[in-house]
């Protein structure tokens, strides 16, 4: 079979990908999975008007002119705590203790925080030391999410933010794309498991560990893994089991033209249809791809670099499709030094790219330019979820529109946490701001 181009290889592989399957799993098991059905809000969030602070529910008009030197005394008529039915009624000249998250009592339209009062132990009369406005310190029903709003789209990779949001809206079981089942094997009498002593001519089996980790990161599940000695009967037994339960079979080594490279021959003998065997690339020219009625079969080279690159270039995109994920894309970068081309083959090499144009690790904070103004606190460091992206050679950052500490959905579209030190004036659009990237997110 003739050598084909990388583009031809990708097209042939894509044509063989069949429909993905879905399954219901407990929310406890959704981390790292891909959502297979839209998550919709079955109720507004908040579900009811509630207090944003510990304090007293009042009628705002009753606090007019109140200050420390001239407090307003209101009659305490009850206590409302989070989880209570909220059947207290607040009338003119009255107040009720109202804790954070508690429903706003009927008749009340504002909250005086407890620090601005004579406190919970004041007895029948409570002194209010500040004037409040209607709606102050009240979280309004539906201000974050309305009933029926789309929360998370089909195809979303589930992280901490998605799990928390689904739990917030009462989802116990969630539909996700099923993890593809993989069989991995390597061939060769020279392969020894890590931890054992090496004899002359032996090497450690590294590729299967590499494959298993990459498969897990791509969302697949390895159900069979074995090093098979140079024994065709043993290989046939392994493959018979694999073809019975797996969606994909991946081999390391045995597909070149050496005397003991018989893996391709065994594939063919067992009825695998060969789609290609050689690709115009360096490294990794001997690369087998085939299929049968149950599985896709990849025969990757035994050289670890070729195996790694072959997995990332060809297997990883297939696993993304099979698990409902969007395909990863390549990016452009400026070469730091000259790089020789090959007249026929596509070349692949490992190399560093400056992380987000900063040279810093993902765990470090980085600087970005604000896309809009951002108010500071005179005393406190502010943290908000935000989104950072690359534009015209610099990082741009915008804070989430949802700034309430109870608004967990603000994390859904975020890829960073914005950090702003105390200050007495807003940070303006175009100013630098520090952000900490969420390690499972990317900069686009």
**Residue 213's pLDDT is what?**
92
**Residue 353's pLDDT is what?**
44
Q: State pTM to two decimals.
A: 0.76
* Mean per-residue pLDDT, 179-204: 92
For residue 418, is pLDDT > 60?
yes
* Mean per-residue pLDDT, 356-372: 60
Neighbour tally for 281: CB within 10 Å = 24
DSSP state of 233: H
DSSP state of 312: I
* Mean per-residue pLDDT, 22-43: 96
CA distances (Å), origin 150, targets 39, 157, 169: 6, 16, 12
Encoded tokens for 18:
């069949």
Q: Side-chain half-sphere of 204: how many Cα atoms within 13 Å?
A: 8
Set out the domains of the chain in order of their start, with CATH numbers. Answer: 6-21+178-322 (3.40.980.10), 22-45+143-177 (3.90.105.10), 50-139 (2.170.190.11), 355-437 (2.40.340.10)
* Mean per-residue pLDDT, 4-32: 92
**Residue carrying the six token digits 């949802």:** 402
């Amino acid at each position: 079979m003739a050598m084909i181009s990388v583009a031809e290889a990708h097209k042939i592989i894509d044509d063989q990908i069949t429909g993905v399957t879905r399954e219901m799993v407990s929310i406890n098991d959704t981390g790292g999975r891909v959502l297979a059905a839209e998550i919709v809000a079955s109720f507004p969030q908040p579900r009811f008007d509630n207090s944003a602070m510990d304090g007293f529910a009042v009628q705002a008009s009753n606090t007019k002119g109140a200050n420390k030197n001239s407090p307003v005394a209101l009659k305490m008529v009850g206590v409302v705590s989070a989880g209570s039915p909220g059947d207290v009624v607040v009338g003119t000249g009255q107040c009720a203790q109202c804790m954070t998250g508690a429903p706003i009592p009927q008749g009340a339209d504002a909250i005086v925080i407890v620090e601005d009062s004579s406190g919970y132990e004041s007895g029948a009369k409570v002194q209010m030391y500040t004037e409040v406005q209607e709606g102050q310190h009240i979280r309004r029903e539906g201000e974050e999410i309305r009933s029926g709003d789309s929360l998370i789209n089909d195809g979303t990779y589930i992280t901490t933010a998605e799990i928390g949001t689904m739990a917030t809206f009462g989802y116990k079981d969630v539909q996700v794309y099923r993890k593809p089942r993989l069989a991995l094997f390597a061939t060769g009498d020279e392969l020894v498991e890590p931890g054992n002593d090496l004899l002359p001519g032996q090497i450690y089996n590294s590729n299967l560990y590499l494959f298993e980790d990459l498969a897990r990161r791509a969302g697949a599940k390895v159900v069979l893994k074995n090093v098979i000695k140079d024994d065709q009967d043993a290989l046939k037994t392994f493959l018979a089991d694999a073809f019975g339960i797996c969606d994909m079979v991946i081999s390391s080594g045995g597909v070149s033209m050496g005397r003991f490279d018989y893996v391709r021959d065994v594939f063919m003998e067992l009825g695998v249809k060969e789609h290609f065997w050689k690709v115009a690339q360096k490294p990794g020219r001997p690369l087998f791809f085939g299929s049968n009625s149950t599985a896709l079969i990849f025969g990757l080279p035994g050289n670890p670099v070729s195996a790694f690159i072959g997995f990332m270039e060809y297997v990883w995109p297939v696993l993304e499709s099979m698990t409902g994920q969007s395909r990863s894309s390549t990016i452009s970068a400026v070469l730091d030094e000259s790089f020789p081309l090959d007249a026929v083959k596509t070349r692949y090499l490992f190399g560093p790219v400056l992380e987000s144009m900063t040279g810093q690790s993902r765990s470090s904070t980085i600087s970005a330019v604000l896309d809009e103004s951002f108010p500071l606190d005179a005393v406190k460091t502010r943290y908000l979820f935000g989104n950072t992206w690359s534009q015209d050679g610099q990082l741009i950052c915008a804070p989430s529109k949802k700034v309430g500490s109870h608004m967990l959905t603000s994390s859904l579209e975020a890829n960073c946490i914005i950090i702003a030190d105390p200050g007495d004036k807003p940070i303006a659009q175009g100013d630098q701001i520090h952000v900490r990237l969420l390690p499972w997110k990317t900069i686009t």
